[in-house]
Amino acid sequence: MMQTREAVRETCPSTTPDSGNLEEHFAKLEARLTQLKAEVRQAQQLASMGSAACSISHEFSNLLSPVLSYAQYALEADDNELQRKALQVTVKNVQVLVAMADRVLELAAAKETRQEFVALRQVVDDGAESLCRGFEKDGIKFRNDLDEPLGAWADRLHLQQVFFNLFLNARDAMAPSKCGVLKVTGQQQGERVIIKVKDTGPGIPEDIIGGVFDSFLTTKKSGRNGRDRCGGIGLALCRDLVTENGGGITVESTPGEGTTFTIDLPAEQPS
C-alpha cells in the first residue's frame, strides 16, 4: 500500500537542519575560525621573537655585567664615591633594560587591531630598536631616510612587527660578513605610500625567491648556536600583516648584491 507524502514525513523525518540552525552553526564556525587565526598570529609573533632571542639575551647580559661588577666592588670597598658610581651605572642600565623588555613584550602581546595615521619614520625606528642590538655592533650601517611627515593608515604595532622581521632577516644576512648597509626609503604616490627596505646582503637564491612569503620556507640553515631551527615564519607574518592593513609587499633580489622589500600602504583612511 502506497504511503502518502505526509505519512513518509512522519515515518522518516528530515535530518536536514532548518535555516535558523544552519546560521547558528556557521556563526559558531566563523567565531572559531577567528579565534584560530588569532592563535596562529600570536604563535607567529612569538616565533619571530624567538628568532631574536639569542641576540636579545646577549644585550641583556652586556647591560647586566657592569651592574653586577660595580655592585660587587662597592660592597667590598668602603668608598662612597665608588658606591655612588655603582648606583648610577645600575640606574642607567636598568632603565635601558626596562625599555628593551617593554618593546619585546609589546611586540609579543596579542592586541586588537587599531588602525590610525602612523608616522612611518618613528615606527621604523621602533622596529629597529625592538631588535635590542644596534646594527653597528655587527658592522652594519642603518639609514632611516623617511621624511618626518610621511605616514600611512595602518596599525602601528603591525607595522612595527613587519619592520622588526625585515630588519632581523637583513641583519642575519649581513652580520657574518661584518659589513653592509640597510636603508629604508619611502614616498607618497597619490593615495598610496611606498616604502622600500633595502640591504646589501648576499641576496635570495633565484630558485626560492618566488616562495619567500610562504610559511616555513627559509634560506637560514641554522640558528646562531648552530642548531637547526624553524624558519620562514617572519616573512609570512609580514605578508599577512601588510595585507590586513590594505597593502601589499613584494621582494626583488640579486644574488651577491642584496635584497629589496617594497611595501605599499594606504596614505589615509579608506573611504
For 67-101, the DSSP string reads HHHHHHHHHHS--HHHHHHHHHHHHHHHHHHHHHH
Residue 150 has pLDDT above 60, yes or no: yes
Distance CA 192, CA 264 (A): 7
pLDDT recorded at residue 58: 61
Q: How far is CA 231 from the centre of its chain?
A: 13
Stretch 223-238: mean pLDDT: 56
3-class secondary structure for 143-169?
EECCCCCCEEEEEHHHHHHHHHHHHHH
Distance CA 242, CA 42 (A): 16
**Structure confidence by residue, pLDDT tens digits, 262-271:** 999 999 998 7
pLDDT recorded at residue 173: 93
Distances (CA, A) of 266 to 25, 122, 188, 245, 250: 36, 17, 9, 8, 16
Phi, psi of 143 (to 5 degrees): -130, 120
Distance CA 56, CA 256 (A): 28
Stretch 133-149: mean pLDDT: 95
- Whether the predicted model's global pTM rises above the 0.75 cut: no
**Structure confidence by residue, pLDDT tens digits, 164-195:** 999 999 999 999 999 999 999 999 999 999 99
pLDDT recorded at residue 6: 53
Helix, strand, coil shares of the chain, percent, nearest 5, are 55, 15, 30
Distance CA 92, CA 90 (A): 6
Cell of 138: 655587527
More confident residue, 118 or 206: 118
C-alpha torsion sign, points 215, 220, 223, 224: negative
Instruction: Name the nearest CA neighbour of 242 among 123, 81, 150, 132.
Output: 123
Residue 75 has pLDDT above 90, yes or no: no
Most confident listed range (24-33, 111-120, 207-216)? 111-120
Q: How far is CA 48 from the centre of its chain?
A: 6
